[in-house]
Structure 1
Amino acid sequence: MITLHHLNNSRSQRILWLMEELGLPYEIQRYQRDPKTMLAPPSLRAVHPLGKSPVITDGELTLAESGAIIDYLVGRYGAGRLAPAAGTPEHLRYTYWLHYAEGSAMPPLLLKLVFDKIENSPMPFFVKPIARGIAGKVKKTFIEPQLRQHLDFLEMSLPQGGWFAGAEFSGADIQMSFPLEAAAARGGLNESRPRLMDFLARIHARPAYQRAIERGGEFALQ
């Protein structure tokens, strides 16, 4: 039996979704973020030394990192589903988006979250103008242009009504869901990029996505 070590409002939501798409039996071990720091609890380190989520255990195997987990579950249990055939152009695109999601899309979104918190965190009055000025300049000159560049690239790369690896829905779309959910929450993604907004609407309508939300609990990124 696969166990998903599931942190609320985290990347582990997409692993829940993947297992629902594959129809796999699994158990959920739940963890809650610290309400002040928003970090995972120390108990996750008992499962994996970094104390991050998602982590799955499958028999003797313990595996972290969303892309690695998706690759493992689709390869072992997919029976040809949710991944294009090896050696095809679609499979190359599938591999690219599995890596792009965390390697390229998430870093500017994480920076945006960090610098937003710097701007809005309580601090001594004499420090506040300096900290906010630095944070605002970094966002304006580096982070926000990077986000626009990535969103333009994604809008251009996603076929109208299609999926990231090609005509068929795949694990790459599950992997790409998190950065796009984050971009809609805090990265400037809106109706000005209709293909990406349509992608989010289509994944939200999938029965497996909705079952994953029911099992995983409220999913709301800040």
Structure 2
Amino acid sequence: MLIVHHLQRSQSDRIVWLCEELGLNYELRTYKRSPFLSPPELQALHPTKAAPIIQDGAITLGESGAITEYILTKYGDGRLSIAATAPNYADYLYFLHFANGYFQPALMRYGLVLKAGISDEVLNAKLARRGMQQSLQILEDRLRGNTWLAGEEFTAADVMVVTTLTTMRLFVPYSLQGYEAIMAYLGRVVEREAYRRALEKGDPGLEPVVGGGGGEGLCI
């Protein structure tokens, strides 16, 4: 059986959600932070020492993007992905990798600048803010004319991106005020039954961070 190792309040919520969307039969093992990092028993499973991690028979795999592609290929039966022959295949592929390839690194750079208290006049701070603004604007522009990131069909690209718009804001607060299309998109996300089930199973009691406010870091 597929085993999903999920660190609560982390990007591994993507994998729990993905499994729920696909209706897979899987075993979920949850872990609390210790106090901020993965606990020792989770770290021992993989060289990355971080969630998500899955086990499938003799296979142990880390990295949320790789795990997502593994599950889609082995268990998806074409669901939550776009065929290479479809006109929106490139859009799907771009946003499937957008979170880990561009958006999340930009968020981490922005968070480091905020934590260090670097003035907005410093070049690194300007670049960090610009990266966040560009990330959000790319999503805003895409969602103004599309229900989901790949088009009118919900896909794994949405599963990958939403975590950076929600869970990661627990660690690097930023505002979505002014990004009306993104806010409407998150409203559609929280209406999905599989999303609510994933939260209840993986992070019981955690309210999804889908509001517009963001504390100290305002990216508007």
Shorter chain as denominator, the TM-score bin is 0.7 to 0.9
Matched, 1:143 2:128: yes
Matches of 2:31 and 2:132 in 1, distance apart? Answer: 30
After superposition, the Cα gap between the structure-2 partners of 1:220 and 1:116, relative to the gap in structure 1 and judged at 3 Å, is farther
Aligned length: 207
After superposition, the Cα gap between the structure-2 partners of 1:197 and 1:184, relative to the gap in structure 1 and judged at 3 Å, is farther
Q: Who is 2:183 aligned against?
A: 197
Q: Residues 147 and 187 of structure 1 are in contact (CA less than 8 Å); yes or no, is this contact kept in structure 2?
A: no
Q: Who is 2:10 aligned against?
A: 10
Displacement of 1:199: 1.1
SS in 1 for 2:88: helix
SS in 2 for 1:158: helix
Matched, 1:174 2:172: no
Displacement of 1:116: 3.1
Show the 5 A alignment for 1:1-222: 1-35=1-35, 38-118=36-116, 132-133=117-118, 137=122, 140-160=125-145, 162-181=147-166, 186=172, 188-217=174-203, 218=206
Matches of 1:133 and 1:78 in 2, distance apart? Answer: 45
Supply the RMSD in Å over aligned alpha carbons.
2.3
After superposition, the Cα gap between the structure-2 partners of 1:52 and 1:183, relative to the gap in structure 1 and judged at 3 Å, is closer
After superposition, the Cα gap between the structure-2 partners of 1:136 and 1:2, relative to the gap in structure 1 and judged at 3 Å, is farther
Displacement of 1:107: 0.9
Q: Residues 18 and 171 of structure 1 are in contact (CA less than 8 Å); yes or no, is this contact kept in structure 2?
A: yes
Which protein shows a greater Rg? 1
What residue ranges of structure 1 are gaps of 5+ in the alignment?
A: 119-131
Q: Residues 2 and 57 of structure 1 are in contact (CA less than 8 Å); yes or no, is this contact kept in structure 2?
A: yes
Matches of 2:60 and 2:51 in 1, distance apart? Answer: 12
After superposition, the Cα gap between the structure-2 partners of 1:87 and 1:189, relative to the gap in structure 1 and judged at 3 Å, is farther
Matches of 1:160 and 1:84 in 2, distance apart? Answer: 18
SS in 2 for 1:168: coil
Q: Identity percentage over the alignment?
A: 38
**TM-score under structure 1 length normalisation:** 0.83
The letter for the 1-side match of 2:139 is L
Q: Residues 16 and 198 of structure 2 are in contact (CA less than 8 Å); yes or no, is this contact kept in structure 1?
A: yes
The letter for the 2-side match of 1:207 is E
After superposition, the Cα gap between the structure-2 partners of 1:182 and 1:110, relative to the gap in structure 1 and judged at 3 Å, is farther
Q: Who is 1:122 aligned against?
A: none
Q: Residues 110 and 125 of structure 2 are in contact (CA less than 8 Å); yes or no, is this contact kept in structure 1?
A: no
SS in 2 for 1:200: helix
What residue ranges of structure 2 are gaps of 5+ in the alignment?
A: 215-220
Q: Residues 10 and 167 of structure 2 are in contact (CA less than 8 Å); yes or no, is this contact kept in structure 1?
A: no
After superposition, the Cα gap between the structure-2 partners of 1:57 and 1:196, relative to the gap in structure 1 and judged at 3 Å, is same
After superposition, the Cα gap between the structure-2 partners of 1:205 and 1:139, relative to the gap in structure 1 and judged at 3 Å, is farther
